[in-house]
Amino acid sequence: MKTQWDLFIAFFRVGMLGYGGGPGSIPLIHVETVKKYNWVTDEEFGDILALCNTLPGPIITKMAGYIGHRESGFLGMLNAVIASILPTILLMVILLTTLSSFKDFDWVNGMTAAVIPVVGVMLAVLTWQFLNKAGKGLGWLKTIIMSVIILIVLQLGVHPGIVIGVLLILALVQKDKSGDDEKSRRGAGS
């Protein structure tokens, strides 16, 4: 039962604080699932994020569903998804009825504008963590070259899901190739 409560609280917090959808939610999900509860490792989080980005729909519900299911089966999935969308539902009902009457006030515009740099910094920190991990795993030269190529491809208008799909396929091909090389070395050594 504690796992269900932890899942609910973790994804409820993400739903409450994840202003701006995916960009604001991803670093929060990372903190809850990797750092606080240790449900996944950094590497697994990157894999889950990549997989969830290739699927349609909001990233927070996909990640909540996957991690909830992984931790506690179907009930955990349902719990985490509900926890992640409940704050949005409640806040939309409350805020839209309340803030629509205050939308022209300067303090409301200032409050909204103040959130943008916070989300930007959270994304920058998460990006640095992923780049640092990739640099240590792949080597800095490969990481920089891949990052530049991916940035150019994305700027040319290629959908991020296609880029992630191609990278997943390349990773699988590379894994199969390295597995075949390992089998060849074992066979030659016998």
In a domain, 35, yes or no: yes
CA atoms within 13 A on the CB side of 119: 15
Query: How far is residue 128 CA from its own chain's centroid?
Result: 14
Q: What is the pLDDT of residue 69?
A: 95
Residue 87 vs residues 18, 31, 34: alpha-carbon distances, Å: 10, 18, 22
* Distance separating the N- and C-terminal Cα atoms of the chain: 52
Q: Is residue 161 part of a domain?
A: no
| Contact in structure between 27 and 98 (CB atoms under 8 Å) | no
Please state the domain count of the chain: 1
Which residue is associated with the tokens 């995916």? 22
Do the domain assignments include residue 186?
A: no
Q: What is the pLDDT of residues 72-101, one digit of tens each?
A: 999 999 999 999 999 888 878 887 777 777
Tokens 């150019």 found at: 152
187: left (phi over 0), alpha (psi -120 to 50) or beta: alpha
> Which pLDDT belongs to residue 185?
63
Rounded Cα gap, residues 63 and 61, in angstroms: 6
Residue 99 lies in a domain: yes
CA–CA separation, 9 and 88 (whole Å): 14
Please tell me the distance from the alpha carbon of residue 59 to that of residue 65, in angstroms, as a whole number. 10
- Residue 186 pLDDT grade (very low, low, confident, very high; cuts 50, 70, 90): low
In a domain, 94, yes or no: yes
Give a yes or no: residue 150 inside a domain.
no
94-103, 121-130, 137-146: lowest mean pLDDT where?
94-103
The pLDDT of residue 189 is above 60: no
Please tell me the least confidently modeled range out of 77-91, 96-110, 138-152: 96-110
Indicate the SS3 state at residue 38: coil
Give the residue numbers spanning the domain of 92: 2-106
Interatomic CA distance for residues 87 and 40, integer angstroms: 24
Asked if the structure places residue 116 within a domain, the reply is no
Q: Tell me which long-range contacts 33-40 makes (C-beta under 8 A, separation of at least 24).
A: 33/63, 33/67, 36/10, 37/6, 37/10, 39/67, 39/70, 39/71, 40/67, 40/70
Concatenating the DSSP letter of every residue in 136-155 gives: HHH-HHHHHHHHHHHHHHHH
Whether 62 contacts 55, CB under 8 Å: yes
Q: Is residue 63 one of the residues assigned to a domain?
A: yes
pTM exceeding the 0.85 threshold for the entire prediction: no
Which carries the bigger pLDDT value, residue 14 or residue 100? 14
**Can you give the pLDDT at residue 179?**
64
